[in-house]
A and B are shown apart, each in its own frame.
Chain A
């Protein structure tokens, strides 16, 4: 177990360093950091002094090392556009994105997994066919279009739900939450559905495919041959074996929710990191782009660790072997 965790940790550190290298290269070599930070009327001498102060004349690895150390402390420099520390900008928006992603993840799992199991167990049923057809429409609908259609229907035509922003939020320390006000929750509904829909269909189709695969295995056939009732064959033997591969891919999918939030946030003008990032791309605000990249990688690594531990707990074949 310990060597397993250490190995995973080392791999995670490697991934983070690789991403940090990309982020640093972007920061250092795209455009000139100095001229992005100073005004038009700065003299050459002042520019050079700034370059010296930022350490831009040091050897590559020294600069990279400094970047990594600072990034580890949450310091990503100053936004070219807002003239504010990037960490501050992200801090303001982190809560919005995480709350949205979290609700969407719950939604996607709570509907996706049961739907996948159901369609695998009743492959020829009417409801299954309907779900499968809908899911195909689901993967074919781009996220932004889902958002637009929801806005048109619930916002413009029915006028039931707000179509932009987070509504009223309550601050708890630096964290702001929309869960505690009615308008916050109302504002969350449409974006959360929009973000969840695509992942939901993916999870559903994945669970269905894996479950069908497991239902064809010898041990399921043997379980039936022993006279075990369908209930036990399906939910004790088949479902648990289905979840082993599903955990990995679902983990990755949920991780990508945070990044997928970019689209949802820009459709609903949701004040999260994604919106910040998309504006940064248009403005070529490299420090924000670099910070966002590193942050997403960090979330990914964390989720991956959790997934691995879950995996380890579910599958006895990975635990300490004492074969005889």
Chain B
């Protein structure tokens, strides 16, 4: 019984949240890695792109709700998502047209692009505050839980409860669907292959007649989809707030770099490495220890390695260790 209780406790507060968070990070990191491999710079505005997509989704969701449109048990935001992706894509392609294209023509070095993206980040930062304010917002409606804590207790007879929220399952399903589509697109379609070719060897891609402007535009559209979806799933799971989204930039980049910048598979694995490390380090292990250890060894403290306020230290630490010992990441990526 104690063992089962321990398993349930770990599942409930570690495995489920970390998996959900990992999937959200993976989607974010995929966007970062795609920009890095095709446009060849680290896009610092990615966190705020996620925020922008989410803000637009919240707006459209509110509109739908006022019209009485809903998805029943699923959040209305899911219905708003495609429209938000389209609007975010327009913003990103427009940004590229107004800013990055200029530096591409000048064949500027990557650091110039990074600095430009920093500027874009500040502008977007202001834009989202202007659009939706600075307060936390929750926008999930529909059925909250698939498994309720009390139902699980009654059903299993265990002391520990297990709850599974709709948004958590939704995150996984949507993330898997999008990743599957992305890999199919990159590996099987002509446009996807031309993007990989462009990323591999730009000069040869040009010689082969691949249109660079088209590759860049398709990239931004896909990035809009990945970033908006990542932002909306995170917001449904937790809450939208401009600060939190800005701070997501760090774990997102950590995920992309751990996996190997420019490698899509790496971005996904990296997302889970970062999320599980973060949650495990900030998890309160006391309960699990009580269940599993003999009474005499019962811990006095909480057995929490680090309080949640310091969770970003985990991303930082992972980032530093990877850059020191394996700059190309776990999978074959480009070194930074």
- Bind each other: no
